[in-house]
Amino acid sequence: MSALRAVPIPEEAPKPQTYTAKAYAAQSPTSSMAAITIPRRTPQPKDVQIEILYCGVCHTDLHFAHNDFANSIPTTYPCVPGHEIVGRVVKTGNAVTKFRNGDLAAVGCMVDSDRTCESCREGEEQYCASMPVLTYNGPDKHLGGVTYGGYSQSVVVDEDFVLHVPKNLNLAAAAPLLCAGITTYAPLRRAKIRAGQKVGIVGLGGLGHIGVKFAAAFGANVVVFTTSANKTADAIRLGAHEVVNSKNDAEMQKHAGTFHFILDTVPVQHNINPYINLLKRDGTLGLVGAPAEPLPLEVFGLLFGRKHISGSIIGGIRETQEMLDFCGEHNVTADVEMIGIQQINQAYDRLLKNDVKYRFVIDMASLK
Amino acid sequence: MSALRAVPIPEEAPKPQTYTAKAYAAQSPTSSMAAITIPRRTPQPKDVQIEILYCGVCHTDLHFAHNDFANSIPTTYPCVPGHEIVGRVVKTGNAVTKFRNGDLAAVGCMVDSDRTCESCREGEEQYCASMPVLTYNGPDKHLGGVTYGGYSQSVVVDEDFVLHVPKNLNLAAAAPLLCAGITTYAPLRRAKIRAGQKVGIVGLGGLGHIGVKFAAAFGANVVVFTTSANKTADAIRLGAHEVVNSKNDAEMQKHAGTFHFILDTVPVQHNINPYINLLKRDGTLGLVGAPAEPLPLEVFGLLFGRKHISGSIIGGIRETQEMLDFCGEHNVTADVEMIGIQQINQAYDRLLKNDVKYRFVIDMASLK
């Protein structure tokens, strides 16, 4: 897929000048992450050069490092992951209007899109008909090859894909908002979640724990579904009003027909039908995890109660800025475990065991 | 389920007087439909007595006659099916305000509901928390036992569950509107289908053929998906602008990402994922058929494009009246094959083979 949409660089177009940055990369599907030096373009007129302070570690990083999406988006090596980027502007192109040196800045999962399709025109760049240019492993139209992500000292991005970060937020804890945050904010916002409504969160991981915070910040009565009894106290601390053991049928049945919205963050095979049963009439099960295998859907459960299932991925740039602003006002950030870049392989191992509360964030000062 | 919610008749409450009506009933899951005489209550203050002129034959009739829903709503015998009823008012209770003798009148799938739950208060009686009282095989709070449906000379129904029929409609062809019509009208209306939008209809049967007419009447560009090449001419005649062979991948792929809404009327196991692929961003696959087995749902298809799956059953009384009024204005009715009640067993046999264009309607004059 990457190969199909790679933008060939016209021969006459000179490549921009570059500078080098330290980074961490996978060199093959089986190699460990290790230090590398990568080129970054010098800022073009609309570009912002950002010194990266923190970068969140998303499970997707690990998938790309291991070439797990070989059939749809094969990984080009070296692969420098990272799309939860927070830093400070150190240089700007001469046509940049939204950022100045010294500004806080953030970059999420996209660094460009075709900007002409219906989705782009409507500010929904994440659904760009040409596919948005991913922050890493996307076709790099400036330098050729693929884009390199946030496990790096520095990144250069068109200002239209750079976000402002509210100054009051803890910057390390804000990094995961750029992927895990917008992924959970967008469907809850779209469902117009408000006070008095009952919202469920399935799965208390990197996504789910921020989903709890957003649902609570929107004023909802938040119920966390989990199969791990030891997550109860944490769920309450994060803002949940109740925790339900999803394996306990009697406990589940008590909530039948009462939820306005249930956000399902589980990325592996699971049974969604019991959650559909818990929805009120016209309620929605919002899926943001992507299991590899199809999920069995019992249609009767949707018919009786006019219920809905929706999917979504991240959010558009405008919506991502709105989310960050909301986080600034309501002081919402992720719960993070800070690591040095040298611990990234160990972090990946722990991620595979879901052993993180709730997001690893790399302190990029460790790269110097 | 029927037994659980049957309303016991208080001993002190005298049963209303009754009169008799000729009808056709199944006496067991394996018996043929045969003549029977049933009691009907004399109209109570809010009741309307209707002389039935026509009754549509819905596949659900056959399911109940055969006790196919034994695990959820077991059939009580004798079972008099029929919930697509059109007739004329012949008697009214003294508190009836909406109908007069001689008025055309129609009855659909429900004859009562609890009227107090949230859904009932919002005019969505079909989702009544206590389950609406079905037109047949529902608990009869007046006479005890179960309600008897429209395969009968006469029926008595509370005026709140009786609809007005526009005078300009062909009455026999209007009967299927009471179930097949509202089932397809409601989800299209809820999706706010309008001119310029592209709407797909999956399955060209009793439901699908009316769905085509509604979608066309709403001004949409209508595409019918079918696996039967011989249905093409018919689909176009019914109002479709294009017919796609859903087994032809290349033909399907041409329509990828272009549909606002796809109405899926197929009640048996089938692959919904190719239809999700055809939806535009934010598009909806509306399911109105209820396959017995779960359908495999590929979640990726929902995520990329923020797509939706929704289910629905029939419509509320207010919405059903709105649908009938719309049909009057736009002259929408079903394509029907008229039969005498004596041919009902033969019609059931043909229904099992999908051999009907597109709805059998019983001319109730045949019962006299």
pLDDT at position A4: 41
A274-312 pLDDT, tens digit each: 999 999 999 999 999 989 899 999 999 999 999 999 999
Per-residue model confidence (pLDDT) at position B227 = 87
pLDDT tens by residue, A200-234: 999 999 999 999 999 999 999 999 999 888 889 99
CATH number of the CATH domain containing A267: 3.40.50.720
Of B297, B305, B308, which is closest to A308 when you measure between CB atoms?
B308
What pLDDT is stored for residue A6 in this prediction?
47
Q: What's the confidence (pLDDT) of residue A292?
A: 87
Closest partner residue to A295 (CB to CB) among B124, B257, B297 is B297
pLDDT > 70: percent of chain B: 96
A11 lies in some domain: no
Q: What pLDDT does A149 receive?
A: 98
pLDDT at residue B13, as a whole number:
67
Res B2: pLDDT: 37
When scoring B297, B298, B307 by the number of chain A Cβ atoms within 10 A, the one with the most, hence best to mutate, is B297
Contact call for B118 and A281, based on CB within 8 A: yes
pLDDT band at B8 (very low <50, low <70, confident <90, very high): low
Under the banding of pLDDT at 50, 70 and 90, the label for residue B4 is: very low
Same domain, A171 and A27: yes
Residues A170 and A185 reside in one and the same domain: no
Let me know how long chain B is.
Answer: 368
In a domain, B46, yes or no: yes
Average pLDDT of span B271-298: 96
> Residues B29, B175: one domain?
yes
Same domain for A210 and A116? Answer: no
Compute the average pLDDT of residues B64-79: 95
Provide the pLDDT for residue A12: 58
Q: Domain limits at A250? A: 180-311
Residue A273: list chain B partners with CB under 8 A. Answer: 294
Answer yes or no: do B273 and A257 touch at CB < 8 A: no
Nearest residue, CB atoms, B300 vs list A118, A290, A308: A290
Helix count and strand count (H, E) for chain A? 12, 17
Q: And the tokens for B112?
A: 């009562």
From the list B326, B350, B318, B352, the residue with the least C-alpha distance to B337 is: B350
Residues of B with CB under 8 A from a CB of A: 118-119, 124, 127, 129, 257, 273, 281, 287-291, 294-313
Written as one letter, the residue type at A330 is: H
Are A297 and B301 in contact (CB < 8 Å)?
no
Cβ atoms of residues A264 and A272 within 8 Å: yes
Domain shared by B106 and B82, yes or no:
yes
**Inter-chain touch B313–A303, beta carbons under 8 Å:** yes
Q: Nearest 5 degrees, angle CA B136-CA B140-CA B141?
A: 155
Q: Where are the alpha helices (DSSP H) in A43-91?
A: 59-65
Predicted pLDDT of residue A35: 98
Whether B278 and B196 share a structural domain: yes
Same domain, A24 and A173: yes
Q: Which residues of A touch B294 (CB under 8 A)?
A: 273, 296-299
Q: What is the pLDDT of residues B312-366, one digit of tens each?
A: 999 999 999 999 999 999 999 999 999 999 999 999 999 999 999 999 999 999 9
Q: Are both B220 and B273 inside the same structural domain? A: yes
Residues A207 and A255 in one domain: yes
Task: Quote the pLDDT of residue A155.
Answer: 98
The CA distances from residue B62 to A368, B79, B83, in Å, are: 75, 10, 12
Q: Is A309 in contact with B308 (Cβ distance < 8 A)?
A: yes
Are B299 and A296 in contact (CB < 8 Å)? Answer: no
Q: How far apart are the first and last CA of chain B?
A: 35
Same-domain status, A169 and A197? no
Confidence grade of residue B6 (pLDDT, cut at 50, 70, 90): very low
Whether residues B241 and B358 fall in one domain: no
Q: What integer pLDDT is reported at residue A228 of this predicted model?
A: 83
Nearest CA in chain B to A72: B300
Chain A CB contacts of B300 under 8 Å are: 290
According to DSSP, the residues that pair with A344 across neighbouring strands are: none
Q: How crowded is residue A356: how many other Cβ atoms within 10 Å of its Cβ? A: 18
Query: What value does the mean pLDDT take over residues B147-163?
Result: 98
Does some domain include residue B8? no
Q: Which alpha helices (DSSP H) does B239-292 contain, by range? A: 249-253, 273-278
> Tens-digit pLDDT profile for chain A (368 aa)?
333 444 555 555 678 999 999 999 999 999 999 999 999 999 999 999 999 999 999 999 999 999 999 988 999 999 999 999 999 999 999 999 999 999 999 999 999 999 999 999 999 999 999 999 999 999 999 999 999 999 999 999 999 999 999 999 999 999 999 999 999 999 999 999 999 999 999 999 999 999 999 999 999 999 999 988 888 999 999 999 999 999 999 999 999 999 999 999 999 999 999 999 999 999 999 999 989 899 999 999 999 999 999 999 999 999 999 999 999 999 999 999 999 999 999 999 999 999 999 999 999 999 98
Q: Which of A289, A296, A306 sits opposite B312 (nearest CB)?
A: A306
Neighbour count for residue A174 (Cβ, 10 Å): 28
Instruction: Tell me if ipTM is over 0.90.
Output: yes
- B273 with A294: Cβ contact below 8 A: yes
Give me the percent of chain A exceeding a pLDDT of 70: 96
Q: Crossing angle for the helix pair B317-330 and B180-190, nearest 10 degrees?
A: 90
Q: Do A303 and B297 touch (CB under 8 A)?
A: no
- The verdict on residue A148 lying in a domain is yes
Report chain B residues whose CB lies below 8 A from the CB of A118. 281
A299/B304 touch (CB, cutoff 8 Å), yes or no: no
Q: Give percent of chain B with pLDDT exceeding 90.
A: 92
In a domain, A10, yes or no: no
Residues of A in contact with B311 (CB under 8 A): 299, 301-307
* Domain assignment of residue B322, yes or no: no
Domain count, chain A: 2
B354 within a domain of the structure (yes/no) = yes
The overall average pLDDT reported for chain B is 95
φ, ψ (nearest 5 deg) of residue B253: -60, -30
Which residues on B lie below 8 Å from A294 (Cβ)? 273, 296-299
- Which residue in chain A has the smallest CA separation from B269? A299
pLDDT, position B1: 34
Q: What is the DSSP string of A107-139?
A: E-SEEE--S-SHHHHTT-GGG-TT--EETTTSB
Closest to B127 (Cβ–Cβ): which among A302, A306, A310? Answer: A306
Same domain assignment for residues B252 and B352: no
Residue (of B142, B285, B128) closest to B200 by Cα position? B285
Q: B235 in a domain, yes or no?
A: yes
Q: The CATH number of the domain where A160 resides is what?
A: 3.90.180.10
